[in-house]
């Protein structure tokens, strides 16, 4: 008996079904991947929090005398603190300072890190391609004010509300693009509205925040 092949109509129907299934499944896979990356990132920040705790046990509860890439490579953000700015060339990057307190330096790499162009905090150019980790050795950034003011962990007003370490870009755990120096103000505001950040707080808990919650942590009194 002669075998009949698929007709053009049948082939088109099959292709349409495959396309529909792909359209349904791809977002699910993307969401699952994003959730997995976020989980790893949160665990990284928890380990970094543990390193802070160990360091501060050794140094009278003082926040570490270290800086992040934004401090080192855009020191002009500290023009209002000239004494601290003068020290920046001589201070270690935080991920190097805390190395003895960590099992592996891999904890500084967020798996969702796909770089940045504009710093989400100071809004100055801080290009990092293909990732912040590949460029600077860390995906995470520090609320350096804690060090500038030589604060103690036990002296903070509300440790559970004060951000200590956080993602370099709020775009990484969303489908949004990073901030770019070519963006106009309206574009920047629209991106920021959708950004989310994994944040290590001063009481060492870690939480994923939207932009308003992230800003509230920055506004918390030390």
Count of residues making up the chain: 222
24-41 residue pLDDT tens: 655 655 565 666 788 999
Longest C-alpha distance within the chain, in Å? Answer: 91
Give all strands (DSSP E) within 67-214, no chain letters: 116-118, 125-128, 140-142, 163-167, 196-201, 206-210
135-163 residue pLDDT tens: 999 999 999 999 999 999 999 999 999 99
Could you tell me the pLDDT band of residue 16, with boundaries at 50, 70 and 90?
Answer: confident
Could you tell me the pLDDT band of residue 20, with boundaries at 50, 70 and 90?
Answer: confident
CB half-sphere exposure, 8, CA atoms < 13 A: 0
63 pLDDT more than 80: yes
The CA distance from 36 to 49, in Å, is 20
171 pLDDT more than 70: yes
- pLDDT value for 93: 98
Q: pTM of the prediction?
A: 0.85
The CA distance from 192 to 75, in Å, is 24
For residues 52 and 95, the answer to whether their CB atoms sit within 8 Å is no
């Amino acid at each position: 008996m002669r075998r009949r092949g698929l007709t053009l109509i049948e082939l088109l129907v099959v292709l349409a079904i495959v396309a529909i299934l792909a359209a349904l499944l791809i977002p699910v896979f993307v969401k699952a991947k994003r959730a997995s990356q976020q989980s790893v990132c949160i665990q990284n920040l928890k380990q970094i929090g543990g390193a802070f705790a160990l360091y501060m046990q050794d140094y009278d509860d003082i926040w570490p005398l270290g800086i992040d890439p934004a401090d080192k490579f855009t020191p002009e953000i500290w023009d209002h603190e000239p004494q601290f700015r003068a020290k920046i060339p001589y201070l270690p990057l935080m991920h190097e300072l805390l190395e003895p307190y960590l099992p592996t330096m891999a904890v500084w790499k967020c798996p969702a890190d796909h770089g940045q162009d504009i710093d989400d905090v100071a809004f100055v150019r801080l290009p990092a391609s293909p990732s912040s980790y590949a460029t600077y050795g860390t995906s995470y950034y520090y609320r350096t004010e804690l060090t500038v003011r030589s604060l103690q962990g036990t002296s903070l007003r509300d440790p559970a509300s004060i951000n200590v370490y956080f993602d370099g870009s709020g775009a990484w755990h969303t489908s949004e693009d990073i901030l770019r120096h070519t963006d106009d103000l309206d574009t920047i505001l629209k991106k920021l509205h959708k950004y989310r950040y994994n944040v290590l707080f001063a009481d060492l808990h870690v939480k994923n925040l939207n932009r308003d919650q992230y800003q509230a942590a920055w506004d918390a009194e030390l």
